[in-house]
Structures are given as C-alpha cells and as structure tokens.
Amino acid sequence: MALLIAGNWKMYKTGLETALFCTALGGRVDDLGSVDVVVCPPYTSLDEAVQALGGTTVEVFAQSAHWASEGPFTGEISATMLAELGVTGSLVAHSERRQLFAETDETAARRIDGLLAAGLRVLACVGETESERDEGRTEEVLARQIEAIAAVVPSAERTNLTVAYEPVWAIGTGRTATPEQAQAAHAFIHSFLEVPVLYGGSVKPENAEELLDQGDVDGALVGGASLELESFVAICETAARVGS
Ligand code: PGA
C-alpha cells in the first residue's frame, strides 16, 4: 500500500498563494509513483487548490467540518458544502482544535459521522500531551481517543478512515518522537483499528525517512514543512522511495 503524505496548512496561505503552490506541486508530485499526496488548505483557499490540482492525483482536504449538512450554525461549514467544491476529505480533531476550540471525543465522533455520510474521507487526529506522556498515560489517552473514533465507524466503512498519531509535544516544537516512540504508538493504535496511521509532529525532510521506515507508520501529517514547496516535495519523494 502506498504511503500517504498530507500537508496541514493550518491558517496559512491566501487563495493566490495556494493557486501558485498547488500548480507547482501538481507538476512535481503527480508522477512520483508509490505515494498518495493530500493538501489541507484553509476554507477560503480550497477552491483554488481544487482548481489548480484538477487532473492530478493530489487530493484536497479541509481542516474540519460541521456534522450537520446545513443549519443554524453561524461560522460553520458542512461536509456537503465541501464535497460540492471537489474536496474529498477533512482532518478531524487536530490537537489545536482539541486545545483551542473545545473539540472533544464526542464532537470529533459527530464530525466523522457527518463526513463519512457525505462520502468524504476522514483523517482523524489523536495524540497525548507532554504531561500525559510524563505521567505514563499515553496508552490510556490513545485508547480513549481511538475508541471514540472506532465507535462511529462500522468495520465495513473503514476504507475512508485514516488516523494521524500526533503527540502534542511534538507539534510545531521541532521535537520529533523517536522512530521507536512513533512505532510503539502506531502499533498500539493498530491493535484497536486496522486503518492507516500517519505520524505527525515536526516531520521534516531530514527525519522523514527514519519515521516512514517503521513498520506501523503508514505516512505523515506534515505541518510547518508542508508550507514550503521544496521541503514538502522532498518528504513526498522520500515516501515514494520508502513505500515502493
Ligand atoms: P508540524 O505540525 O509538522 O509543524 O509539527 C503538524 C501538525 O500540526 O499537523
């Protein structure tokens, strides 16, 4: 199975910046072979990304979605609206959503349900904080988060589900989990859910290979290094090599 590299752009890149980046990206990664590539721009840049990547194999995901298809939810965007744009999936429950925007296991589960019902793919994020790891609670936290996800996705519908293991202490900090720490967490998640598990947290061209080489690491969710074309392409090239 090809590895999956997803770029989480967070609140970066205007529509114009997105169009330029995606036009260049399509030309660089479309024929890499054994790697699946996804970009997750902000809502206002999704249309530009879909247009610029049309006709390539690169998919465009959103960063979150409301669970209802429409309704009185000021400021929200539904999976149905995303699908109409040509978006094929969405992140769910990124740790920034959990920490800064009151995302819970329950709201994450509802979003997953809404996305799958609309025929979109889900990239659901889990991961422990630094204090949870220091207290020896990593597996307890992962089990709780994974069970909440698994509960809303019947086994027969898991083809559209991918999980990202993102230790919160490694996001945007330059501190990466060691390949052994990543492998252990991924194997633990795989013992609950047989779906691809991406690693995220300070993935860069310099550390991508040792992480992607781990048996239970099925790809990477890349934040900062996905904003620069050269570093994102380099990670995609590494994945194509490691996955072939
Ligand atoms: P980072 O972000 O690669 O900048 O650590 C990863 C993420 O937040 O998904």
Model confidence over 89-128: pLDDT tens digits? 999 999 999 999 999 999 999 999 999 999 999 999 999 9
Q: Which two tokens mark 10? A: 């967070």
Contact 125, 144 (CB under 8 A): no
CA of 72 to the centre of ligand 1 (A): 32
Percent of the chain with pLDDT over 90: 93
Angle between helices 229-243 and 15-29 (to 10 degrees): 30
β-partners of residue 37 are: 5
Match domain 3-243 to its CATH number in 3.40.30.10, 3.10.20.440, 3.40.50.1980, 3.20.20.70: 3.20.20.70
In testing the pocket of ligand 1, which one of 173, 221, 227 has its CB within 8 Å of the most ligand atoms?
221
Query: Exposed e or buried b for every residue in 143-182, given b needs 16+ CB within 10 A?
Result: bebbebbbebbeeeebebbbbbbbbbbbbeeeebbebebb
- Return the closest-CA partner of residue 220 out of 238, 202, 200: 200
In testing the pocket of ligand 1, which one of 202, 206, 227 has its CB within 8 Å of the most ligand atoms?
202
204-208 contacts: CB < 8 A, separation 24 or more? Answer: 204/176, 204/231, 204/235, 205/231, 205/234, 205/235, 205/238, 207/176, 208/234, 208/235, 208/238, 208/239
Measuring from atom 7 of ligand 1, which residue has the nearest CA? Answer: 223
Q: Which atom of ligand 1 is nearest to the CA of 201?
A: 5
- pLDDT band at 157; cut points 50, 70, 90: confident
Q: Write the pLDDT tens digit of every residue in 45-104.
A: 999 999 999 999 999 999 999 999 999 999 999 999 999 999 999 999 999 999 999 999
Is the per-residue pLDDT at 141 higher than 90?
yes
Q: Is the pTM for the entire model greater than 0.95?
A: yes
- Return the closest-CA partner of residue 227 out of 16, 82, 11: 11
Q: Say yes or no: CB of residue 172 within 6 Å of ligand 1.
A: yes
Q: Can you give the residue ranges of every domain in the chain?
A: 3-243
Q: Say yes or no: CB of residue 200 within 6 Å of ligand 1.
A: yes
Q: Say yes or no: CB of residue 224 within 6 Å of ligand 1.
A: yes
Return the pLDDT at 103: 97
| Residue that wins the pLDDT comparison between 34 and 106 | 106
Average pLDDT over residues 166-182: 93
Radius of gyration of the chain (CA): 17
Q: Say yes or no: CB of residue 236 within 6 Å of ligand 1.
A: no
Is the per-residue pLDDT at 31 higher than 90?
no
Return the pLDDT at 113: 95
Enzyme catalytic residues: 94, 166
Q: Say yes or no: CB of residue 201 within 6 Å of ligand 1.
A: yes
CA of 36 to the centre of ligand 1 (A): 18
Q: Say yes or no: CB of residue 182 within 6 Å of ligand 1.
A: no
**Cα of 68 vs its chain's centroid, Å:** 21
Return the pLDDT at 33: 84
Mind giving me the DSSP string for 1-53? Answer: --EEEEEE-TT---HHHHHHHHHHHHHHHTT--SEEEEEE--GGGHHHHHHHH
**SS3 state at 168:** helix
Q: Say yes or no: CB of residue 226 within 6 Å of ligand 1.
A: no
CA of 14 to the centre of ligand 1 (A): 19
